[in-house]
A = this chain, B = another copy of it.
Amino acid sequence: MTGRTQSRGGRPTMKDVAAHVGTSIKSVSRVLNGEPGVSADTTERILRAMADLGFRRNDLARGLRQSDRTGTVGLVLPQAATRYHDSLVRGLEEVARRHGSLVLTASSGTAAQERETLVSLCSRRVDGLVVVPAGTDHGFLQPEQAAGVPIVFVDRPPHGIDADLVLTDDAGGARRATSHLLEQGHRSIGVIGADAGIHTVAERLRGHREGLTEAGLAQRRNLLRPGCETAAQAAAACLSLFASPDPPTALFTLNNQCTIGAVRALHTLRRARSTALVGFDDFETADLLDPPVTVVAHDVGEIGRRAAALVFGRLEGTITGRSGSHVLPTSLTERGSGGIPPQR
């Protein structure tokens, strides 16, 4: 018992955490018990100190005690809901409701906002957490996890924490989309997508490159248009591709918004019927557009159901052992736009 922040044979106590942060034991207790009255900033410093010191509640892991349950699961999304997230929420709620649990959804936005949102949800106590991560470090969630709160990440792997993960076979789907276009004879495929720093985007780009490599082709930089966050940006990117001296004969768009933006631009250019197009993600009116849009489809509701099954399985002890990755498949829904042959 010599350390400044350790007492009682090396196991840190609430007092140690309070001393480390420079706050009162009452504040630490409040954070631990999910009571209000501690600022977000102090809450975060307390949670970080718990992680740094390896603090553990010395009662049983919270998740094992039925009476401590709050009947709520937190879902954190990287931005306000999009069509994609609707299905995710619905899948999650379907399973949560069967377990008598309420899903509380919050948006994160930036990495800082994500941290604040997660800390706020934890301090209000949830039985489990499902996170579509925006930030790059989730180590601050370790004390919560250690206290018995199951945490499941969706779409993108977390950093600084070992947790269950539900992914889509992004690379496989992109490879399939690329092969479909190559089979029609296309050798010049424009790619429009969001920021390549996002895990799903990087994976889809990797799958596209693999598809090209299989056919003995290399990725050409001038055909790539990453960084499109909105349909309007995707439309502009599409226009710029066709304004270049060597325009593509086909397009692969990496999400819904990019697909819709590209279709809008192709209509403007009167190229919708002469340019092949495959989009990643299905969307509601894809079959009603002219031509109907071929997409890489995946069951987003199933991602939500799977994430919920992991949360409740861990909570109820039917799933034990180390955390794992679950990769869900994609399929190609051919509607017509992907079958257009190369034209100049």
- Chain A residues with a Cβ under 8 A of chain B: 34-37, 40, 67-72, 80-83, 85-86, 89-90, 93, 97, 102-107, 113, 116-117, 120, 124-125, 231, 260, 263-264, 267, 283-285, 287-290
CB neighbours of A97 from chain B (8 A): 113
CB neighbours of A284 from chain B (8 A): 231, 260, 285
Q: Other than the known A80-B93, A104-B104, A104-B106, what 19 A-B pairs have Cβ atoms closer than 8 Å? A: A35-B35, A36-B68, A37-B68, A40-B71, A71-B120, A72-B120, A80-B86, A80-B89, A81-B81, A81-B105, A82-B86, A83-B83, A89-B107, A97-B113, A102-B116, A104-B105, A260-B284, A260-B288, A264-B288
CB neighbours of A89 from chain B (8 A): 80-81, 107
Report the bound CA distance from A113 to B284 in whole Å: 28
**Would B72 and A124 count as touching, CB distance under 8 A?**
yes
Report the bound CA distance from A161 to B211 in whole Å: 61
The 10 tightest CB contacts between A and B, nearest first, are A80-B90, A105-B105, A285-B285, A104-B104, A81-B81, A81-B86, A36-B70, A80-B89, A290-B290, A102-B120
A36 to chain B, nearest CB (A): 5
The winner among A36, A72, A85, A90 for most chain B CB atoms within 10 A is A36
A304 to chain B, nearest CB (A): 10
**Would A107 and B103 count as touching, CB distance under 8 A?**
yes
Report the bound CA distance from A284 to B81 in whole Å: 15
Report the bound CA distance from A105 to B90 in whole Å: 13
Report the bound CA distance from A319 to B8 in whole Å: 54
A144 to chain B, nearest CB (A): 15
**Would A102 and B86 count as touching, CB distance under 8 A?**
no
**Would B107 and A93 count as touching, CB distance under 8 A?**
yes
Report the bound CA distance from A72 to B106 in whole Å: 10
Contact of A36 among B36, B125, B290 (CB under 8 A): B125
A141 to chain B, nearest CB (A): 17
Known interface pairs A81-B86, A107-B93. Does A288 touch B289 (Cβ–Cβ under 8 Å)? Answer: yes
Which chain B residue has the least Cβ–Cβ distance from A33?
B35
CB neighbours of A81 from chain B (8 A): 81, 85-86, 89, 105
CB neighbours of A36 from chain B (8 A): 34, 68-70, 125
